[in-house]
């Protein structure tokens, strides 16, 4: 896997007496942590005292949820483990959304939470919450450290578990008396994880069976998920797609794993995916899933998903295999390793008829919008962002229409370029994610393509961006509605827009009040120059695009339908 | 179909909550779940009886193995296995009914462990089918209460099979 933690047992050197808090900081440094996010509070005072002069860049969010998303996006942008620390009770509870987001999208995050004194646990003490109980289903692993002698080992295990196998968040709960307890740390620190094994090497026989199936296939499709990005396997994916000549479609989280400018790219599939990707999947005779998990937003009606296909599934998590869709050729292991082996055994096939068919679909059903419209179309904003940044920016998103338009109209060319809450669909993710990504990649252009209501949820973090002089860009596709909800209400609830409209503040003024730059755009003609100004700004910049109010995302697979039963294709065809 | 799944787990706080929580979160049905110590103080054994088709049980097995403190998972389906359940059952037993009840208890190789004025407490051990049969046989007398351990199981060694 990626970012290997140091796994070897080794001595911590000369025995010295240290407090639990000092051991934590020493272990963070041992694990290569140079940046972390977090918010202080009563029971983490000993830890924050040790962090006061530690060589760690520390970013304090305005709310712990924001801090957790920042650590998550920092991890996604850098490939390293993101670290977040909060106090007990409310601090820990505020991590819940962030941890669940990281869990669903397999992001390596280590969360350290303070806890009340050991002898008070269970007494409903001030700021006490059963943190390990609350977070157990939304972490890959969690535990409470009740004895300072276990501290070093537990922290090391946390980083190892978070970053290996299918990554995920790990939470360590630390009672304040354990943080101040002293311990002589001369002994060796060996991990004790008898139940945790990671299989990286793929089964050789399975790999050659998969290669045979690929060589025999007349209509294959590669279906690629975020696992390829996590495994840093984009190069191997490119080699496989080119050598065997395979069309490639990606999930939302898979975008960036394959350069969308290449002819083999079928872009995103699924509910709001490209029609040509969905048709190709439905008609393929071989579906090669890599680091993807057959999520319901991808498969639509599961019984009729890829009905004629033999399925190869390459995944590091054995429990993903045959969970939703029957798999004919499973290969469990690290995508980088397996794709590297697989590429050796595949042969070039022209598959002319298949590629011709795909080319026709691509022509007919490309993502389109009404360019002649006089209003500000959200798709135009995204296209213009892509043009001016030459497909090179890191894009974060909110959730809903803004997220889908970003996925449809920005062209992603390299891994770790799109940072979006896919599995959990967390509104409010975009702004803190942009901050986390900018901290990880100070030189990159980072743009949060957000919705007005997603932005409303976490906009307080703008102050964090200002404080740290992070030149993030926020593009609010402002239609006043919770746009995706409104779209469903329009299509399926007889236009009864129940509670999906809220009044918004003037975002440009809000931005300026917080020390950022704020721009409002309500004319189509002003879009290019506003984006140009935004990109030239050294300060955080918020652009409030007053977009067409009732624009919809097309195509769309209605709930319960097969992915080739898309609505909106007539609209796309009319716009040719 | 019922599957008996045996999981060797680290003997740590929170493991039972983790396993039980995973079952609830993934909507798997537990028929019974037994936890006990093993010969190794660092390990406990959980024996879980699950109801579901093969696909569901395969997911149960994989999801269990994914829980970090779970060391080893075995599904006993299709294997020769010794499976036992222990039951304490209190049966209404007025003096005039006791002789016939005693012979019934003997047939099931049960043991009377407590005698009250109007009832008997009986201990019965065996495969689930036997326990169920005994409960049914006692129904006409009146069952006051039942406590069962749930199934524990171990696979048979071929050579020691009877």
pLDDT of residue A7: 43
Give the closest residue to A270 by CA, choosing from A296, A307, A246.
A296
pLDDT of residue A15: 77
Q: Does B25 touch chain A (CB under 8 A)?
A: yes
pLDDT of residue A14: 65
Q: Which of B14, B21, B58 is nearest residue A143 as measured by Cβ atoms?
A: B14
Interface mutation target, options B18, B23, B55, chain A, most CBs of A under 10 Å? B18
* Residue B158 pLDDT > 80: no
CATH assignment, A378-554: 3.40.50.970
Q: Chain B residues with CB inside 8 Å of A195's CB?
A: 9-10, 67-72
Report domain extents, chain A.
10-189, 204-364, 378-554
Q: Chain A residues with CB inside 8 Å of B22's CB?
A: 137
pLDDT of residue B161: 46
Strand pairing partners for A330?
A: A313
| Pair A426, A97: CB distance under 8 Å | yes
pLDDT of residue A269: 98
Calculate the average pLDDT of chain B. Answer: 93
> Residue A537 gets which letter from DSSP?
-
Quote the CA–CA distance of A416 and A231 in Å, as a whole number.
11
> Residue A88 gets which letter from DSSP?
S
> Residue A481 gets which letter from DSSP?
B
Residue of A nearest to B69 (CA): A195
CATH assignment, B82-155: 3.30.70.1150
> Residue A497 gets which letter from DSSP?
-
**A305 burial class (0-12, 13-18, 19+ CB within 10 angstroms)?**
buried
Q: Which of A195, A318, A319 is nearest residue B70 as measured by Cβ atoms?
A: A195
Residue of A nearest to B59 (CA): A319
| Contacting residues for A106 by C-beta, under 8 A, at least 6 apart | A166, A167, A168, A226, A227, A230
CB contact under 8 A, B68 and A136: no
CATH class belonging to A204-364: alpha beta
Measured in residues, chain B has a length of 162
Quote the CA–CA distance of A570 and A296 in Å, as a whole number.
24
A378-554 matches A10-189 in CATH topology: yes
Q: Which of A196, A318, A321 is nearest residue B68 as measured by Cβ atoms?
A: A196
Residue of B nearest to A161 (CA): B68
pTM across the whole model: 0.95
| Pair A511, A541: CB distance under 8 Å | yes
Quote the CA–CA distance of A298 and A509 in Å, as a whole number.
39
Q: Residue range B8-16: average pLDDT?
A: 93
pLDDT in tens, chain A (576 residues): 344 444 444 444 567 899 999 999 999 999 999 999 999 999 999 999 999 999 999 999 999 999 999 999 999 999 999 999 999 999 999 999 999 999 999 999 999 999 999 999 999 999 999 999 999 999 999 999 999 999 999 999 999 999 999 999 999 999 999 999 999 877 678 999 999 999 889 999 999 999 999 999 999 999 999 999 999 999 999 999 999 999 999 999 999 999 999 999 999 999 999 999 999 999 999 999 999 999 999 999 999 999 999 999 999 999 999 999 999 999 999 999 999 999 999 999 999 999 999 999 999 999 999 999 999 999 999 999 999 999 999 999 999 999 999 999 999 999 999 999 999 999 999 999 999 999 999 999 999 999 999 999 999 999 999 999 999 999 999 999 999 999 999 999 999 999 999 999 999 999 999 999 999 999 999 999 999 999 999 999 999 999 999 999 999 999 999 999 999 999 999 998
Q: Which of A136, A161, A318 is nearest residue B18 as measured by Cβ atoms?
A: A136
Q: Chain B residues with CB inside 8 Å of A144's CB?
A: 13-14
Quote the CA–CA distance of A291 and A320 in Å, as a whole number.
9
Give the closest residue to A566 by CA, choosing from A423, A284, A365, A410.
A365
Quote the CA–CA distance of A103 and A130 in Å, as a whole number.
19
3-state SS assignment for residue B147: strand
Model pLDDT for residues B45-81, shown as the tens digit of each residue: 999 999 999 889 999 999 999 999 999 999 998 889 9
Q: Chain A residues with CB inside 8 Å of B70's CB?
A: 195
* Residue B52 zone, left/alpha/beta (φ > 0; ψ -120 to 50; rest): left
* Residue A105 zone, left/alpha/beta (φ > 0; ψ -120 to 50; rest): alpha
3-state SS assignment for residue A143: strand
Does A10-189 carry CATH code 2.60.120.1030? no
CA distance B76 to chain A (A): 19
pLDDT of residue A576: 84
Across the beta sheet with B70-75, what order do the strands follow? B29-37, B43-51, B2-10, B70-75
**What count of other Cβ atoms lies within 10 Å of the Cβ of residue A45?**
16
pLDDT of residue A492: 96
CA distance B29 to chain A (A): 17
Q: CATH 3.30.70.1150: which residues of chain B?
A: 82-155
CATH assignment, B2-75: 3.30.70.260
3-state SS assignment for residue B148: strand
**A204 burial class (0-12, 13-18, 19+ CB within 10 angstroms)?**
exposed
Q: Does A324 touch chain B (CB under 8 A)?
A: no
| Pair A182, A148: CB distance under 8 Å | yes
Quote the CA–CA distance of B52 and A178 in Å, as a whole number.
44
Scored b (16 or more CB within 10 A) or e, A188-198 reads ebebebbbbee
CB contact under 8 A, A195 and B12: no
């Amino acid at each position: 896997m990626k970012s290997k933690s140091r796994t070897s047992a080794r001595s911590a050197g000369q025995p010295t007496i240290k407090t639990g808090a000092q051991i934590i900081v020493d272990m963070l440094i041992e694990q290569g942590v140079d940046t972390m996010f977090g918010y202080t509070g009563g029971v983490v005072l000993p830890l924050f005292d040790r962090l006061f002069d530690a060589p760690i860049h520390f970013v304090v969010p305005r709310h712990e949820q924001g801090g957790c998303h920042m650590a998550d996006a920092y991890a996604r942008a850098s490939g390293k483990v993101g670290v977040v620390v909060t106090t007990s009770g409310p601090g820990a509870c505020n991590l819940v959304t962030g941890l669940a987001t990281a869990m669903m999208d397999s992001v390596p995050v280590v969360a350290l939470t303070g806890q009340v004194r050991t002898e008070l646990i269970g007494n409903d003490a001030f700021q006490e919450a059963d943190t390990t109980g609350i977070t157990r289903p939304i972490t890959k692993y969690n535990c409470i450290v009740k004895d300072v002698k276990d501290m070093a080992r537990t922290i090391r295990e946390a980083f190892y578990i978070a970053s290996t196998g299918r990554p995920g968040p790990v939470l360590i709960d630390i009672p304040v008396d354990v943080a101040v307890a002293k311990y002589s740390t001369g002994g060796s620190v060996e991990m004790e994880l008898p139940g945790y094994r990671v299989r990286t090497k793929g089964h050789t026989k399975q790999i050659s069976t998969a290669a045979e199936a690929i060589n025999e296939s007349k209509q294959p499709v590669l279906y690629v998920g975020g696992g390829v990005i996590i495994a840093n396997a984009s190069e191997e994916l490119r080699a496989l797609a080119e050598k065997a000549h395979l069309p490639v479609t990606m999930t939302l989280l898979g975008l960036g794993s394959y350069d969308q400018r290449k002819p083999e790219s079928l872009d995103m599939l699924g509910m709001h995916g490209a029609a040509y990707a969905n048709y190709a999947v439905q008609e393929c005779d071989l579906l090669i899933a890599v680091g993807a998990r057959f999520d319901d937003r991808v498969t639509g009606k599961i019984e009729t998903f890829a009905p004629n296909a033999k399925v190869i599934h390459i995944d590091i998590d054995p429990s993903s295999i045959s969970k939703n869709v029957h798999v004919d050729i499973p290969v469990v292991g690290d995508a980088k390793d397996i794709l590297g082996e697989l590429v050796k055994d595949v042969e070039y096939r022209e598959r002319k008829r298949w590629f011709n068919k795909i080319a026709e679909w691509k022509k007919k059903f490309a993502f389109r919008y009404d360019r002649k419209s006089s209003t500000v179309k959200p798709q135009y904003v995204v296209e213009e962002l892509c043009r001016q940044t030459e497909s090179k920016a890191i894009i974060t998103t909110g959730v809903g229409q803004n997220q889908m338009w970003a996925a449809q109209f920005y062209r992603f060319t390299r891994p770790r370029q799109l940072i979006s809450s896919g599995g959990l669909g967390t509104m409010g993710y975009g702004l803190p994610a942009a901050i986390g990504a900018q901290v990880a990649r100070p030189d990159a252009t980072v743009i949060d393509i957000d919705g007005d209501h997603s932005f409303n949820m976490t906009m307080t973090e703008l102050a964090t961006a200002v404080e740290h002089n992070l030149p993030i860009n926020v593009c609010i596709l402002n239609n006043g509605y919770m746009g995706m909800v409104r779209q469903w209400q329009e299509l399926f609830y007889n236009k009864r827009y129940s509670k999906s409209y809220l009044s918004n503040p003037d975002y440009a003024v809000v931005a300026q009040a917080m020390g950022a730059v704020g721009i409002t755009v309500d004319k189509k003609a002003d879009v290019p120059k506003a984006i140009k100004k935004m990109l030239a700004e050294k300060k955080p910049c918020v652009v409030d695009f007053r977009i067409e109010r009732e624009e919809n995302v097309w195509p769309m697979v209605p709930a319960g339908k097969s992915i080739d039963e898309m609505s909106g294709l007539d609209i796309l065809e009319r716009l040719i | 179909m019922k599957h008996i799944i045996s999981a060797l787990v680290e003997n740590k706080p929170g493991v039972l909550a983790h396993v039980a929580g995973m079952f609830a979160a993934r909507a798997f049905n537990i028929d019974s779940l037994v936890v006990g110590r093993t010969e190794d103080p660092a390990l406990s054994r959980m024996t879980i009886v699950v109801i579901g088709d093969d696909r569901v049980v395969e997911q149960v097995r994989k999801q269990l193995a994914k829980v970090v403190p779970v060391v080893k998972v075995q599904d006993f389906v299709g294997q020769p296995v010794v499976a036992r359940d222990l039951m304490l059952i209190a049966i209404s037993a007025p003096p005039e009914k006791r002789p016939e009840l005693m012979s019934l208890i003997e047939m099931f190789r049960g043991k009377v462990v407590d005698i009250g004025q109007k009832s008997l407490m009986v201990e019965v051990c065996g495969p689930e089918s036997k326990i169920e049969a005994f409960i049914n046989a006692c129904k006409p007398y009146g069952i006051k209460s039942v406590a069962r351990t749930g199934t524990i199981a171990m696979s048979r060694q071929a050579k020691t099979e009877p």
